Structure 1
Amino acid sequence: MHDLSAAYALNALDEVERRRFERHLDDCPACTVEVREFAEAAASLAERVAEPAPGALRERVMADVARTRQVPSRPARSVRGPSWRRALTGAAAVLLVTAGAALGTVAWQQHQAAEQAQELADGMARVLTSPERVEARHTVAGGGTATMVMAEGDAVLSAAGIPAAPHGHGYQMWVIAADGSMQSGGMLKLADGDGSAFMTGVSPDVSLALTIEPEGGSDQPTTEPLVQLG
């Protein structure tokens, strides 16, 4: 039953398995913690690629409306009720077309972000539910825990309860090869001490490490690893 924590967190169990596992959760604090960590990791993956609509969208639309000529110039005597209605209709049409084009770009960006989030979630689910996965969990120096799950050449690294890095610094992930060489795995983004990352092209003979580095990351570690998994 302990092996079903990740699948339960990702809603990948059938009804019978779900009920059995929920009964198991009542008497297993360790699995309860694992379910929470896996669920938070899955949620943070979506947050990493989500992008809000540009804040200047309305200003751009209104600026385009102000620059766009609404109706041809006419003699003053021809400006009557119907002409004003046509002018307002023209202004509304320009606004809608301009807004439609801008919102179309935003919608496309959001669609791309949603696709990326889905790909990340699918990859994470594949790793966390693989029968051949390898797992490791250790306490992080300074507080918190880090968990690594590897399968099929991919890896999920999740952290929980890690204190905030010093000002101007962040947590950087490292992939350590069998010969001891280290390659950056990118910066680990945290929210209230929790965070996760999905890495591809990770061979089973490597290990993962976490160090504190200046914002933006370093080419090579400048501090001792706070934790090493694998």
Structure 2
Amino acid sequence: MSDTVDAGAWPPEDHDDLTAAEYVLGVLPHRERQAAQERAELDGGFSRRVSQWEGRLAVLNAAYEDGPVNAAVYPRIESDLFGAPQAAAAPARRVPAWRMWLSGGVVAATVVLAAVFWPQAEPPLSAQLTGEAVAFNASFDGAVLQIARAGDAADEGHDYELWAIGADGVPRSLGLLRGETAQIAASDLEPGVTLAVSLEPLGGAPDGSPTGPVLAAAALAVN
């Protein structure tokens, strides 16, 4: 509650109206709900407030059937939220269908939002680039491309250079492969993109396009 609102200064009828609304909505703790139920049976004015709130909220209930009631459900929920009641639980009331609909709607909305906004893991991709004298095993997890070489390093004065070739057919350099393994940050690789390794002058292709022979190539595919 805001520090600027003094609930103690409210007129008694406002307190009664708020309690009646909370009672109809079913948000009162067990003992307060039981006290409100008993008061509604004895206090005609409070009973009328409860009836008025039931009427205001009836529009939410009109299109739905009452759901089945398990007498053990409410006491268990209240025990988890507010602690075990000291007195025996009041008889279970029928659950308004609008309340069941609202709870189910919150759950469904949460699931939908999670499916839309929760980051989804990319399916792993792999490719086997096999040449006559050297081979490369590539695996991609959606963020990092890992390359493992089987065979000799490039001859002195040369480097292996890795290329990605998409649907436009234009090779794009992903970097040099000098060790037996390499990890390359990438984010736009997808199934069908061809990986190729060419033999280039030391330091890589001078003009950004392959100049040496292509030693191995293969397309990325889902594992």
Q: Which has the higher helix share?
A: 1
Structure number with bigger Rg: 2
**TM class, shorter-chain normalised?**
0.3 to 0.5
Scaled by the length of structure 1, the TM-score of the pair is: 0.38
- Greater RCO structure (CA 8 Å; 6+ sep): 1
